Amino acid sequence: MQAPSIGGVRLPRGNGQVVRLPRGASLADFAERIDVDPAQLVQVLFGLGEMVTATQSVDEDTFRVLGEELGFEIQMVSPEDEDRELLESFDIDFEAEDDSISMPRPPVVTVMGHVDHGKTKLLDAIRKENIVESEAGGITQHIGAYQVSVEHDGQERAITFIDTPGHEAFTAMRARGAQVTDIVILVVAADDGVMPQTIEALNHAQAAGVPIVVAVNKIDVEGANPSKIRQQLTEYNLVAEEYGGDTMFVDVAAKPGINIDKLLEAVLLTADAALDLRANPDMPARGVAIEGHLDRGRGPVATVLVQRGTLRPGDAIVTGQSYGRVRAMLDEYGKPVEEAEPSRPVLVLGLTAVPGAGDKFLVADDDRTARQIAEKREAMERNAALAKARKRVTLESFMAESKVETLNLILKGDVSGSVEALEDALLKIDVGDEVDLNIIHRGVGAITANDVNLASIDRGIIIGFNVRPQSRTVEDLADREGVEIRYYSVIYSAIEEIEAALKGMLKPEFEEVQLGTAEIREVFRSSKIGNIAGCMVTNGIMRRNASARLVRDGVVVGEGLTIVSLRREKDDATEVREGFECGISLGSFNDIKTGDTIETYEMKEKPRG
């Protein structure tokens, strides 16, 4: 095979040699690996119809195409591998198991189920039933997770609940490779039965290999049929113990608080039977950020779940791209915590930024290491985002670019979990190739002047999810700049509306609708207005201003014509129907003959499916 040659310069052929590149790499990076001049790669790509500069971050597809052309197999380093390599460069092995000490740890539970089946009520009931004696009357705060203690076999046992119902949080975390949940409580309302999201939740749990305890809820409601639920779920490989299976089903009523203790017992029994939950509490803490938000007084705060080791105030912590020294740790009652052991969720104060839900956290040897890891991660993310955002400018799309409409969005939300869930869902909207959805900025907290300015520059729309403009000034600025801010508190309705907006941005498609045909019986010549066709409408109608074509002996001889004037007898007419005679002028088109047929049609907008 010939080596590709550009301007007489021969490029090496890779013969299938593998080149690993980090996300966000540029042509210059690739050139360095294969020891060529970056300018040559720019030219090769140009020859393939892509215009990229040497230092621009390039996306995976472009590298693949280029690699194929030159005979190299390009492997993009996955974000996980990239992060692992980054930590290794600091001598940290995040996953390293240290079994020297291994103590039992409480199970971590997520509640999932169909809309309105009672997830929130159940989490409330569990929290209420188990308020620790000393906290009786204490008000719990939502920090994203809480721990309850249960008496089981004469022993005090703890269970940790992720306090974000639904599977968005679950999937957002799994998408980041964070397996947080040990057991899923699947809530099914006994008066409603198995519904689409019940099955979705179940699929998520089974895909993650997480055991399920079924809470058959609302048994207090008349018409509730708990055994029907058991029957329905056997179809999905969830067979109740009493039917010979190994899934525990517990009949509960979250609202009046019936059988909550039995449900908690079932969680512990399932954990003991199916899982051996252990961790080493005697090492620097590692775990996952559950959620985070910007607190007015306290700055960025994050709830983290410790998975190994013990977290203490003063630790140098890094989670995602945020870092800091743990200034204080609080529990769900707002009380200070001095030590957080495995499976313990705590609110952490002292971070530089709000981490994302599912970001792994670790305690580093010192502040400097924590900061360097966070900064390197930020740089990596920025490069990767640049590669993704770089619009693939092919020669074709470059010329046709004006045809693509882009909806630019800025997402602001109250907690990072909801912003991520919203972003994920939005990016999944499929509207084909004609419209682009671009999320130009996302963040946690009130809508700021900066957001408005950004939207104004990029002609974007701001989506406020459970957040409002920071002040009247920001609102005024948006008004003045003509920036639209839309507020939502339900992810689903945000998605629905944005999807509708995207569909609305699609250029209308037109189709031809036949109106009618007329046969030319006679041609009148007029010095003033040119030739006039004396016609008989043989089918449908003739309409003034309608589009027309002229057909002679079955061949179209005039296309893109217009019925310039239409007369019935001596009068102007707007329409003439089948079976009537009329006079038609096609304007300056005078090549008409007796026996020709005039076809008329209209272009109608086609509704989008």
Ligand X SMILES: Nc1nc2c(ncn2[C@@H]2O[C@H](COP(=O)(O)OP(=O)(O)OP(=O)(O)O)[C@@H](O)[C@H]2O)c(=O)[nH]1
Dig out the tokens for 335 from the structure: 């009380």
Instruction: Say whether 217 counts as a known binding-site residue.
Output: yes
Q: How far apart are CA 215 and CA 212, in angstroms?
A: 9
115 is in an annotated binding site: yes
Q: Are 257 and 130 in contact (CB under 8 A)?
A: no
Phi, psi torsion values for 602, nearest 5 degrees: -130, 150
The answer to whether residue 217 forms part of the interface with ligand X (CB under 6 A) is yes
Q: What angle do CA 544, 607, 397 make, to 5 degrees?
A: 100
According to CB under 6 A, which residues from 149 to 168 bind ligand X?
Answer: 165-166
Q: Is 165 annotated as a binding-site member?
A: yes
Choices 113-121, 137-145, 321-329, 596-604; region in contact with ligand X by CB under 6 A: 113-121
- Contact with ligand X (CB under 6 A) among 9, 101, 103, 115: 115
Which tokens go with 573? 């007419």
Distances (CA, A) of 143 to 77, 127, 242, 290, 292: 35, 13, 37, 9, 8
Under rule CB under 6 A, residue 195 binds ligand X: no
Residue 313, classed as helix, strand or coil, is coil
- Could you tell me the smallest distance in angstroms from the CB atom of residue 180 to ligand X? 19
Which residue among 253, 439, 478, 498 contacts ligand X (CB under 6 A)? 253
540 is in an annotated binding site: no
Nearer to ligand X, 221 or 454 (CB): 221
Please say which residue, 59 or 168, places its beta carbon nearer to ligand X.
168
Shortest reach from residue 158's CB to ligand X, in Å: 24
State which amino acid sits at residue 394. Answer: T
**Which of helix, strand or coil describes residue 444?**
strand
Nearer to ligand X, 118 or 324 (CB): 118
The two structure tokens encoding residue 82: 């990239």
Single out the segment in contact with ligand X by CB under 6 A; choices: 114-122, 358-366, 425-433, 512-520. Answer: 114-122
Q: Determine if 199 is a binding residue for ligand X (CB under 6 A).
A: no
Q: Is 117 annotated as a binding residue?
A: yes
CB 432 within 8 A of CB 405: no
Task: Find the binder of ligand X among 221, 239, 269, 541 (CB under 6 A).
Answer: 221
Q: Which is nearer to ligand X, 44 or 148 (CB)?
A: 148
255 forms part of the interface with ligand X (CB under 6 A): yes
- Tell me whether residue 220 is annotated as binding: yes
Assign residue 343 a region (left: φ > 0; alpha: ψ between -120 and 50; beta: otherwise).
Answer: left
Q: Is residue 119 a known part of a binding site? A: yes
Contacts of 550 (CB under 8 A, 6+ apart): 556, 557, 558, 561, 586, 589, 591, 592, 596, 597, 598, 599
The span from the CA of 48 to the CA of 66, in Å, is 8
Which of the ranges 128-136, 206-214, 249-257, 529-537 carries the binding residues for ligand X, by CB under 6 A? 249-257
By CB under 6 A, tell whether 118 contacts ligand X.
yes
Q: Return the structure tokens found at 71.
A: 């005979």
293: annotated binding-site residue? Answer: no
Would you say 215 or 444 has its CB closer to ligand X?
Answer: 215
**Is 128 flagged in the annotation as binding?**
no
Binding part of the chain for ligand X, among 68-76, 141-149, 250-258, 305-313 by CB under 6 A, reads: 250-258
**Least distance (Å) from ligand X to the CB of residue 232?**
18
Residues 68-107: x where in contact with ligand X by CB under 6 A, - otherwise, as a string: ----------------------------------------
Give whichever of 123 and 363 is closer to ligand X, judged by the CB atom: 123
CA distances from 44 to 34, 86, 391, 393 (A): 14, 32, 18, 15
In the bound state with ligand X, the residue whose beta carbon lies nearer, of 13 and 255, is: 255
Between 253 and 533, CB nearer to ligand X: 253
What gap in Å lies between CA 70 and CA 76, rounded to an integer? 16
Output the smallest distance, CB 378 to ligand X, in A: 34
Query: Which token pair is 87?
Result: 């930590």
Class of residue 427 by CB neighbours under 10 A (exposed 0-12, middle 13-18, buried 19+): exposed
Q: How far apart are CA 358 and CA 435, in angstroms?
A: 30
Size of the site for ligand X (CB under 6 A): 17
Neighbouring C-alpha atoms within 13 Å toward the C-beta of 555: 2
Q: Which of 40, 67, 107, 117 binds ligand X (CB under 6 A)?
A: 117
What is the layout of strands, in order, in the sheet containing 249-251? 145-152, 155-162, 108-113, 183-189, 212-217, 249-251
State the nearest-atom distance from the C-beta of 256 to ligand X, in Å. Answer: 6
Annotated binding-site residue numbers: 113-120, 163-167, 217-220
Footprint of ligand X on this chain (CB under 6 A)? Answer: 113, 115-121, 165-166, 217-218, 220-221, 253-255
